[in-house]
Chains A and B, each alone.
Chain A
């Protein structure tokens, strides 16, 4: 039934759905997970790297998941990498054009909104397919401080305290609903990110090669982004494994202590 209405982006189905847009979102549901958490003193973006082939020259090329857009904003992508490249290039251009015109950095929401208007155009006219990318934006501006946004192929966007896109995003989001608390610190957010990813990713063991964690923070009136080094990611993973072991041991003790019926 859907067959007749899904080959062109520019038409609605009888139920009022845009199939091409939904199929684009399907593509993203199979992509590497990206998780973002807004802390009171910064933002953490974590991405699951799917391309961990030993033959990849990862010394010289930059991440394919996390991109710096301009001094005050960083983004993480999930979906078709080549589409993501085009969009991040466009985001960088938009940000610099704003800076050229106004002499000050672009406020976060305006950048997200601008790109989403472009993404929306691909769902309404032109006859071209939508971009198969969802993006998590982490940025700071003088109006609203630290902000976390998410956009998807339909051109919709929203501001979040914590969210996840890509593979297993639903599981991660339900875990976040329980474990996220307001006024979380950057350090606690790093631990939370590792905890959530270790519980939702299907790989049996997390390792620093598979995980990329970036943190955005302010230092002396400047916004800084740092990608966590291997050692620190390793330590976070080890801490998390230790906590899990203790929880398991605790559960066992409680089960044994309970009188059997």
Chain B
């Protein structure tokens, strides 16, 4: 899960979700599927929205479903809307990045191609976006779990 938004809320909310997902696994021996975890997260956001103070977090959630044998990506925002998407982005940079993704994303891309596409998007925002975002950490989620990838540094990209 990648979170952005009000600092404090981000940590609090993401840890709350992560620990609840873990508790489910402890209680039941099997894990929550990505779809169920995403729905659960969305439900927590929706409940907090209609209460004393809402969690001001936007997030992207990625997981691999063991039963369906496919990876899934969910986009959620602070108003508790949720969508399963092939690609998505949050923040001001998303205005630039979504166009890039629309143009160059292909459903049958390999992981290496996906990483190149990420680099392209980061090159785009480092060129066009007024705020300097120098480094991006990257994680890969597949049937074997979560793997750390090489971070992307904007200054090393050809712009």
Contact = CB atoms under 8 A, between A and B. Distances in A.
Interface of A: 100-104, 107, 109-110, 142-143
A107 B38 CA distance: 17
B28 A107 contact: yes
Given A100-B43, A101-B40, 7 more contacts: A102-B32, A102-B39, A103-B35, A103-B36, A103-B39, A104-B35, A104-B36
Which residue, A100, A107, A143, has most C-beta atoms of chain B within 10 A? A143
Nearest to A101: B43
Interface in B1-53: 28, 30, 32-33, 35-36, 38-40, 43
Nearest to A143: B30
B39 A101 contact: yes
A109 B27 CA distance: 11
Contact of A110 (B28, B38, B40, B43): B28
A220 B7 CA distance: 47
Nearest to A102: B36
B28 A104 contact: no
A247 B43 CA distance: 61
A109 B36 CA distance: 17
A109 B28 CA distance: 9
B112 interface: no
24 contacts: A100-B43, A101-B39, A101-B40, A101-B43, A102-B32, A102-B36, A102-B39, A102-B40, A102-B43, A103-B35, A103-B36, A103-B38, A103-B39, A103-B40, A104-B33, A104-B35, A104-B36, A104-B39, A107-B28, A107-B30, A109-B28, A110-B28, A142-B67, A143-B30
Contacts of A102: 32, 36, 39-40, 43
Contacts, number: 24
A177 to B, nearest CB: 29
Nearest to A103: B39
B28 to A, nearest CB: 6
Nearest to A104: B36
B30 to A, nearest CB: 5
B33 to A, nearest CB: 7
Nearest to A141: B30
Contacts of B30: 107, 143
A103 B36 CA distance: 6
Nearest to A105: B36
A156 B33 CA distance: 28
A103 B43 CA distance: 9
A107 B67 CA distance: 14
A142 B68 CA distance: 10
A102 B30 CA distance: 14
B74 to A, nearest CB: 11
Nearest to B67: A142
B139 to A, nearest CB: 24
Contacts of A109: 28
Contacts of B35: 103-104
Contacts of B39: 101-104
B70 to A, nearest CB: 14
A213 to B, nearest CB: 31
A104 B33 CA distance: 9
B12 to A, nearest CB: 20
A102 to B, nearest CB: 4
Contacts of B32: 102
A86 B39 CA distance: 29
Contacts of B40: 101-103
A142 B36 CA distance: 13
Contacts of B38: 103
A104 B40 CA distance: 10
Nearest to B28: A110
Contacts of A143: 30
A104 B38 CA distance: 11
A142 B33 CA distance: 11
A236 B28 CA distance: 40
